[in-house]
Amino acid sequence: GQNIDQPTEMTATEGAIVQINCTYQTSGFNGLFWYQQHAGEAPTFLSYNVLDGLEEKGRFSSFLSRSKGYSYLLLKELQMKDSASYLCAAVDSNYQLIWGAGTKLIIKP
Amino acid sequence: GAVVSQHPSWVICKSGTSVKIECRSLDFQATTMFWYRQFPKQSLMLMATSNEGSKATYEQGVEKDKFLINHASLTLSTLTVTSAHPEDSSFYICSARDVEGADNSPLHFGNGTRLTVT
């Protein structure tokens, strides 16, 4: 079956760095998305990786290893507004999105 | 950037009534829109894929007669929750992909509709 695993919850300190991991098992693979979702709001797009390696976009970076079925989202210089859920979603061979349950990130002062 | 407008943002209705939720792509065309449901502290659950000019494709376990989907144009899809019950209370979110985008291009999400059935 198809499956996405990511931690349920993480806590980090303002100004620090946090890495949110995601492992996936899908029928075929056409890339992986990271979305940010604040409570009560819709998800917003953060990143998309389809090739191995690190993609940097400001304070946020996303990494992919296709051979390991693994991705992570790296958040630097954490701000209180980064408190949100972070959703990992893999694209399978039919271009269907397989969603993880999301990681709730709590930022403490 | 691409904008998806979803209306209403929240609705409270009585058990047994029907509720219609609209999803519009404002600055792009979408042959396909997706309807999700999200319960508290859970991830997005795809309910159905709405196809312009044809019948929607429902996920397993989603009652097509209860969740009516209409995608009459390239910019509008509607979800009607018929005979709503308290267990239908949830956060409903639509999303769309630009018709000119690749199959793996990002989805653009509406702001969601918080439905509460009393």
Peptide bond into A43 cis (omega under 30): no
pLDDT single digits (tens) B21-38: 999 999 888 888 999 999
DSSP-based helix, strand, coil % in chain B, nearest 5: 5, 50, 50
Residue A99: its chain B contacts at CB < 8 A? Answer: 43-46
What pLDDT, on the 0 to 100 scale, is given for residue A96? 85
Tell me: pLDDT of B100 over 90.
Answer: no
Percentage of the residues of chain B whose pLDDT score is greater than 90: 68
Separation CA A99–CA B48 (nearest Å): 14
If you search the block for the tokens 């991830």, which residue do you land on?
A: B43
Cα distances from A8 to residues A57, A60, A97, B104, in angstroms, run 24, 20, 19, 26
C-alpha torsion angle, residues B84, B86, B87, B90 (rounded to 10): 80
- Interval B100-106 mean pLDDT: 78
Half-sphere exposure of B6 (CA within 13 A, CB side): 25
Interchain CB contact of A48 with B (< 8 Å)? yes
Q: CA-nearest residue of chain A to B36?
A: A42
- Read off the amino acid at residue A93: S
Reading across the β-sheet that carries A60-65, which strands appear in turn? A3-5, A18-25, A70-75, A60-65, A53-57
DSSP E strands, B1-118: 4-7, 10-13, 19-25, 32-38, 45-51, 57-58, 67-73, 76-81, 90-96, 108-109, 113-117
| Residue A81, min C-alpha distance to chain B (Å) | 18
A99–B44 C-beta distance less than 8 A: yes
* Two structure tokens written together for A59: 């304070």
Q: B102 exposed, middle or buried (CB, 10 Å; 0-12, 13-18, 19+)?
A: exposed
Give the residue from B103, B60, B44 showing the smallest Cα distance to A1: B60
Q: Cα B83 to the chain's mean position, in Å?
A: 17
A29: nearest CA in chain B? B104
The answer to whether the CB atoms of B104 and A42 lie below 8 A apart is no
Could you tell me whether strands B19-25 and B76-81 are parallel, antiparallel, or unpaired per DSSP bridges? antiparallel
**Per-residue pLDDT for chain A (109 aa), expressed as one digit of tens each?**
789 999 999 999 999 999 999 999 999 999 999 999 998 888 999 999 999 999 999 999 999 999 999 999 999 999 999 999 999 999 998 888 899 999 999 999 9
Chain B residues near residue A93 by CB distance under 8 angstroms:
none
Q: Which two tokens stand for residue A19?
A: 């890495």
Q: State the alpha helices, DSSP H only, in A6-81.
A: none
